[in-house]
Amino acid sequence: MGRDPWHDASDALSIDSMQVTPRPTIEQVQTALATVNDPEIKRPVTELGMVKDVSIEADGVVAVEILLTVASCPLQDTLTRDVDAAVGAVSGVSRVEVSLGVMTDEQRQGLRRHLKGSGTSRDIPFAKAGSLTRVFAIASGKGGVGKSSVTVNLAVAMVGQGLSVGVVDADVYGHSVPDMFGIGDRRPTQIEDMIMPVDSHGVRVMSIGMLKARRDQVVAWRGPMLDRALVQMLADVYWGDLDVLLLDLPPGTGDVAISLGQRLANAAVVVVTTPQQAAAGVAERAGTMASMMKQRVVGVVENMSFLSCPHCGPQHRIEVFGAGGGKRVASALGERFGYEVPFLGGVPMDPQVRAGGDSGIPLVLSDPAAPAAQALTTVARSLTGRGRGLAGLQLGLTPVGR
């Protein structure tokens, strides 16, 4: 914007250039503000009662006062920048002055009521009939097969399809998900009794590790404690309207799987395995467990399928962990359940997968053309693009864009 009045004056030889852009109206500024979402709640600041005051000076300077939900809002710079950009784009605005305040307790309670209704129920929105969110639990029989890596990459691939995606890291032992998203020690903001998921690469992330007092604290939660933590992550977290929720489960068939089976019987289960026959046998057990909990297994992903030979290239596949495990699990589970369990594909080994986990930038984003990234993107598509006819998935799906 930045119109220089002196420059305009010296230009004043033609009548046209003397015409001053009309002063912006409050309505125009409000309309612009309505396009700015709170970075955490992902709804317009105007709707959330976050715009306290707008004033427009004669010289086109617009002052906007924004109320933060909480004083320590970690995303206040983003918010300031977004307001500045949106209002600055209104014709006639010469400059935007954004000032920040903080909501009063009363305003915050109003916001909470607006978002969650007045009840204090701890219902899990995804378990309700009519929920349009498709829930996928990523499970495996044993540890270290790449569940978390697969979950994180599927999530960003789905965001790339235009979907709104949440990830719950339900791994009580590991919680590697925050690091894989580059979230580190960022903690969720709390508004009243609502917990805001942490945003990374457009994915709304919540980890059981974020509920701990300290990062290095060891959680030995079991049974009811664990169940409570899971319900908290599903019911008390403000997820907004999600198209997809991915749950990264701990390995095996323990308490988390049981709790989730009871809480989210409508979740679809994706089994991750390696090609190794022994691993495949264990993976089958995870699938059987899901089925016992009345959850539907919607597919099998084989991770670490092969390594491209560093000498010959991709035409020479080195089968580090053997071959055939993924297909075997899919057909064994299909036979057992009496419905087709599709083999969703094999993801090759790629040191970049690990590097992406360490850097917090998943491979699907850092090198989307890499064969492992392509394989993961294909799996994401077959999960979200698969139409109806699969029990365990909700109807009314909106695969791409909205």
Ligand X SMILES: Nc1ncnc2c1ncn2[C@@H]1O[C@H](COP(=O)(O)OP(=O)(O)OP(=O)(O)O)[C@@H](O)[C@H]1O
Q: Which of 28, 133, 148, 377 binds Mg ion (CB under 5 A)?
A: 148
Q: Which of 353, 361, 373, 380 binds ligand X (CB under 6 A)?
A: 353
User: Would you count residue 273 as binding ligand X (CB under 6 A)?
Assistant: no
Tally the residues of the chain: 402
Q: Which of 28, 140, 189, 273 binds ligand X (CB under 6 A)?
A: 140
Nearest-angstrom CA–CA distance, 53 and 51: 6
Nearest-angstrom CA–CA distance, 29 and 88: 9
DSSP letter string over 371-383? HHHHHHHHHHHHH
Shortest spacing between CB 304 and Zn ion, in angstroms: 18
Residues 329-388 that bind Mg ion (CB under 5 A): none
User: Would you count residue 326 as binding ligand X (CB under 6 A)?
Assistant: no
User: Would you count residue 249 as binding ligand X (CB under 6 A)?
Assistant: no
For Zn ion, the closer of residues 221 and 306 by Cβ is 306
3-state helix, strand, coil in the chain (%, to 5): 35, 20, 45
CA angle 95, 111, 168 (to 5 degrees): 100
Catalog residues that contact Zn ion under the rule CB under 5 A: 309, 311-312, 316
Binding string to ligand X for residues 176 to 195, with x set by CB under 6 A, is what? x-------------------
> Interacting stretch for Mg ion, rule CB under 5 A, among 42-50, 120-128, 148-156, 368-376?
148-156
What angle do the packed helices 371-385 and 147-160 form, to 10 degrees?
70
> What six digits make up the tokens of 235?
């019911």
Site size toward ligand X, by CB under 6 A: 21
Shortest spacing between CB 392 and ligand X, in angstroms: 22
Radius of gyration of the chain (CA): 25
Select from Zn ion, ligand X, Mg ion, none the partner in contact with residue 149, using the beta carbon and a kind-dependent cut-off of 5 to 8 Å: ligand X
Nearest-angstrom CA–CA distance, 349 and 308: 8
Nearest to 65 by CA among 56, 52, 74: 52
Select from ligand X, Zn ion, Mg ion, none the partner in contact with residue 347, using the beta carbon and a kind-dependent cut-off of 5 to 8 Å: ligand X
User: Would you count residue 347 as binding ligand X (CB under 6 A)?
Assistant: yes
Q: What φ, ψ does residue 45 adopt, rounded to 5°?
A: -60, -30
Nearest-angstrom CA–CA distance, 133 and 114: 21
Q: Which of 39, 60, 160, 174 binds Mg ion (CB under 5 A)?
A: 174
Determine how many CB atoms are found less than 10 A away from the CB of residue 395: 11
User: Would you count residue 295 as binding ligand X (CB under 6 A)?
Assistant: no
- Give the DSSP H or E segment for 72: none
User: Would you count residue 144 as binding ligand X (CB under 6 A)?
Assistant: yes
> What six digits make up the tokens of 45?
């600041």
User: Would you count residue 149 as binding ligand X (CB under 6 A)?
Assistant: yes
Q: Which of 116, 147, 328, 381 binds ligand X (CB under 6 A)?
A: 147
Please give the residue ranges that form the binding site for ligand X (CB under 6 A).
140, 143-149, 171, 174, 176, 251, 303-304, 347, 349-350, 353-354, 357, 372
